[in-house]
Amino acid sequence: MKKALYFVVGIMAILSFSLVAAQSGLPGAGWESGQQIQNIGSGPANIIFTAYGTDGTSYDCGTSSGVAIGASVNVQTANCTGVSAGFVGSAVVSADQEIAAIVNVNNRTVSTAAGQYKGTDGASTATTVNFPLVKADFAGRTTTFYVQNAGSTAADITATFNTGPLNGATTTRSHTYSAVPANSMVVVSAADASVPAGELGSLTVSSANALAGSSLEHETTATSGSNLQASRGFTPADEATTVYCPLYRKSHTPNGFSTGAQVQNVGSGPTDVTFTFGSYSDTQTVDAGKSFTFFAGSIAGIANGSVGSASITS
């Protein structure tokens, strides 16, 4: 039985055309991606990697045959047949054994930015994908989203943003991307839904087809991006009434690092969300689809220099 993983192969090779750079959403040039795929099955694996452009065109990236149990292979999108500089797209990896994969997006040829996220197993795709954190040029940071149609036919994808000032009143704005081809992805930007600069909040994407998604947080503007944060979108398989934050800190180390824990209500109605860090506890009511930020730097009840773990329940 073949297993499949879905993921955006991101902003690949040198962004030699301004149109591609604008579509990618990342600042500067030199962005590329590589994929590391591991055989976690019980026998040798035959791994097939296929890339897809945003127009639905497929690109053969080859087959890795007889990959040993526990071993991994690296696929550079630049080596896929027919892929040219400036490619932005998605990929489907299939195998005859269980596999796991991570994607590394970086601009190592020109700067120091890099971010990694895990691929989405075919069984974990869903018609709704949630992203607890959206930044629209908030404190000079912006989040760009990459949402893949994991179905077998073209489908509309709707992005619904709930944003506002930090933990303030939010406004709901939506944008629909029409007829996204099967296996292809669309770049989702808060600007597409006319979200004003300076706001933050959450995003929910939905479709009649199953979806997979990832997000990249980056500097809003930069000649060459110097840092990047990457994550995978949340599907129902990831959601729970209790979540744990293994690392949470306030003004920790000489650099003064502080943590922000972003929690999104993925239910159908308002819910009370309780954040606990040591002896400190705070409960907030969060409306459906919206999020709240428990930012250590703004919490007077947590002492400077604190470091530990936190939990969030609803």
CATH at residue 95: 2.60.290.11
pTM score, whole prediction: 0.92
User: Do residues 266 and 138 both lie within one domain?
Assistant: no
Q: What is the pLDDT of residue 121?
A: 86
Domain count for the chain, please give it. 2
Same domain, 285 and 175: no
More confident: 194 or 20? 194
- Residue 122: what pLDDT? 85
First to last CA, the chain: 38
Q: Is the pLDDT of residue 84 over 90?
A: no
191 and 287: one domain? no
Domain boundary among 238, 271, 301: 238
Do 211 and 302 fall within a single domain?
no
Residues 231 and 249 in one domain: no
pLDDT at site 9: 53
> Are 278 and 171 in the same domain?
no
Look up the domain containing 286 and give its range: 242-313
Cross-strand pairs, 88? 11
Domain edge (last residue) among 216, 238, 260? 238
Residues 231, 248, single domain; the answer is no
The residues, ordered by sequence, that sit 6+ positions from 96 with a Cβ below 8 Å of its Cβ are 1, 2, 3, 45, 46
Task: Tell me what the pLDDT averaged over the chain comes to.
Answer: 91
Indicate if the pLDDT at residue 187 is higher than 80. yes
pLDDT exceeds cutoff 80 at 91: yes
Same domain for 119 and 16, yes or no, is yes
**Region 290-307: what's the mean pLDDT?**
98
pLDDT of the residue at 25: 82
Confidence of residue 85 (pLDDT cuts 50, 70, 90): confident
DSSP, residue by residue, the chain: --EEEEEEEEE-S---SHHHHHHH--SBS--EEEEEEEE-SSS-EEEEEEEEETTS-EEEEEEEEEEPTT-EEEEEGGGSTT--TT-EEEEEEEESS-EEEEEEEE-TTTS--EEEEEPEEGGG-EEEEEEEEEEESBTTEEEEEEEEE-SSS-EEEEEEEEEESTTS--EEEEEEEEEEPTT-EEEEEGGGGTPPTTEEEEEEEEEEEEEEEEEEEEESS-SB---EEEEEPB-GGG--SEEEEEEEESSBTTTTB--EEEEE--SSS-EEEEEEETTEEEEEEE-TT-EEEEEGGG-TTS-TT-EEEEEEE-
* 70 & 186 share domain: yes
Q: Which residues are within 8 A (CB) of 108 and not within 5 positions of it... i.e. 6 or more apart? A: 30, 32, 114
Mean pLDDT of the region 179-200: 96
**Taking 70 as the threshold, does the pLDDT of residue 15 lie above it?**
no
User: Which residue, 238, 259, 274, sits at the end of a domain?
Assistant: 238
Answer yes or no: do 30 and 171 share one domain: yes
15 and 135 both lie in a single domain: yes
pLDDT computed for residue 6 by the predictor: 64
From residue 204, alpha-carbon distances to 120, 129, 170 in Å are 17, 6, 14
- pLDDT value of position 8: 60
* Contact of 168 with 291, CB cutoff 8 Å: no
- Give me the percent of the chain exceeding a pLDDT of 70: 93
The pLDDT score that the predictor gives to residue 228 is 94
Task: Indicate if 55 and 172 belong to the same structural domain.
Answer: yes
Q: Can you give the pLDDT at residue 18?
A: 19
What local confidence, expressed as pLDDT, does residue 162 receive? 98
